[in-house]
């Protein structure tokens, strides 16, 4: 390997390391949020719907700028329960997701399937829909 590329490799390794740290921090934050929501539901003796579902307002940009996978996970988290692919598509569109996909349903399904196949993925195929791993531990 030539010395002229050595610096690029060092920078790439650093960026990958930072990304891994960021992903761990996001996962820990998501777990903390889920734990706090569980505690609140227990204290209130209610279900998530009793607390008010926090669906994206159709006029909002809640998911704008996110990857489709991250937006789907955020949407499922905001609803607090398993969602079908169609419900996710509708929620992401209402929440400001912009895409050039000709078939958003198929695109979302494929994105979620690939993400669910990853080891320790936050997305899990569940019944007829998708859920989050953190919901399975409740």
89 contacts 104 by C-beta, under 8 angstroms? yes
The angle formed by the CA atoms of residues 92, 87 and 90, to the nearest 5 degrees, is 40
pLDDT by position in tens, the chain (length 138): 577 888 888 888 888 888 888 877 777 777 777 777 767 766 766 444 444 444 444 447 788 888 999 999 999 998 888 999 999 999 998 888 888 899 999 999 999 999 999 988 999 998 889 999 988 866
- Rounded Cα gap, residues 51 and 65, in angstroms: 27
Domain positions in the chain: 1-52, 53-138
């Amino acid at each position: 390997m030539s010395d002229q590329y050595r610096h690029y490799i060092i920078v790439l390794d650093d960026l990958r390391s930072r990304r891994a740290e960021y992903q761990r921090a996001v996962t820990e934050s998501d777990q903390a949020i889920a734990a706090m929501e569980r505690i609140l539901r227990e204290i209130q003796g209610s279900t998530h719907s009793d607390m008010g579902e926090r669906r994206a307002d159709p006029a909002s940009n809640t998911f704008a700028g996110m990857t489709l996978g991250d937006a789907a996970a955020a949407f499922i988290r905001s609803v607090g329960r398993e969602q079908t692919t169609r419900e996710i598509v509708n929620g992401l569109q209402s929440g400001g997701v912009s895409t050039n996909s000709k078939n958003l349903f198929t695109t979302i399904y494929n994105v979620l399937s690939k993400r669910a196949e990853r080891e320790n993925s936050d997305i899990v195929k569940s019944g007829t829909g998708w859920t989050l791993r953190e919901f399975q531990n409740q």
